[in-house]
Structure 1
């Protein structure tokens, strides 16, 4: 999806309004990423409602952005990916202090921190 959106952007396929949506997505998704980092690094800071809202808003914005450019299959793929990660039971499991996912989450957070430091996220 990232590659498809990048190709659309590089070829000037987005309208002014769609570019505003892209910027809105960037800001909202960055906030969600920062929340994930914070929830991992700061004990008892996990806020399911905040993260679910941020992910669902990000999904909606992305779908609006690409709706006129990509196929229904691509839109369904966006829905599938965001639905997987915006699952309350999954998120609760991931952010439990004694989570079996803690180690892998640590690797993901380290990668996210690196991407944010390098301007890639």
Structure 2
């Protein structure tokens, strides 16, 4: 039997709490303003594209739960050296994907479905490797749900086609992504 560790109990409690409290209000308390703004607008986009409020809320809640849990693991120094390398890879891949999404919006006829689909698949793969030692199958299912929704080719075509009815909201999301990318630059500098 292993020895009682308050730190382990505290970490489990934080992860459990993150599972229970993953709505937009809690997200705004845990994440910074650019991220919470992006989450709000992604939720709107999910609803616009799917036409289903429940689907959009579920995808957004799953995204928040994963983000909060990974943040808790990072904050509590739970990642080993290999996992820190994966976390850095994920962050670089996220930044590159975000810049790609911005360019798809800003520069006509640059949308490349296969490129963005592969980028999202790579992010998912890195994230799964990062959390495999720490999180449950339920969290893996959440990751699959989020990347399955956003990586769906029909979703991507609906959002990025030149005559998309979602263009105005995509413009707002690209502003959110630019603000988020600036916070990464500030953190690196």
TM-score, normalization by structure 2: 0.62
Q: State the number of aligned residues.
A: 121
Query: What residue is the counterpart of 1:85 in the other structure?
Result: 150
> Aligned ranges for residues 90-109 of structure 1 at < 5 Å?
90-109=155-174
Moved over 3 A (4+): none
Selected match of 1:49 from 84, 94, 114: 114
User: Where in structure 2 are there 5+ consecutive unaligned residues?
Assistant: 1-65
Selected match of 1:75 from 137, 140, 148: 140
- Answering whether residue 53 of structure 2 is matched by residue 24 of structure 1, we say no
Shift in Å, 1:114: 1.1
Larger Rg: 2
Shift in Å, 1:119: 2.1
Selected match of 1:15 from 80, 89, 97: 80
Distance (Å, rounded) in 2 between the aligned partners of 1:72 and 1:11: 21
User: Where in structure 1 are there 5+ consecutive unaligned residues?
Assistant: none
Secondary structure of the 2:184 match is coil
Distance (Å, rounded) in 2 between the aligned partners of 1:52 and 1:98: 20
Distance (Å, rounded) in 1 between the aligned partners of 2:177 and 2:139: 25
Query: What residue is the counterpart of 1:113 in the other structure?
Result: 178
Query: What residue is the counterpart of 2:58 in the other structure?
Result: none
Query: What residue is the counterpart of 1:59 in the other structure?
Result: 124
Distance (Å, rounded) in 1 between the aligned partners of 2:182 and 2:92: 15
Structure ranking higher in helix proportion: 2
**1:98-118 CA distance string (max 9 Å, x none):** 101111111111111111122
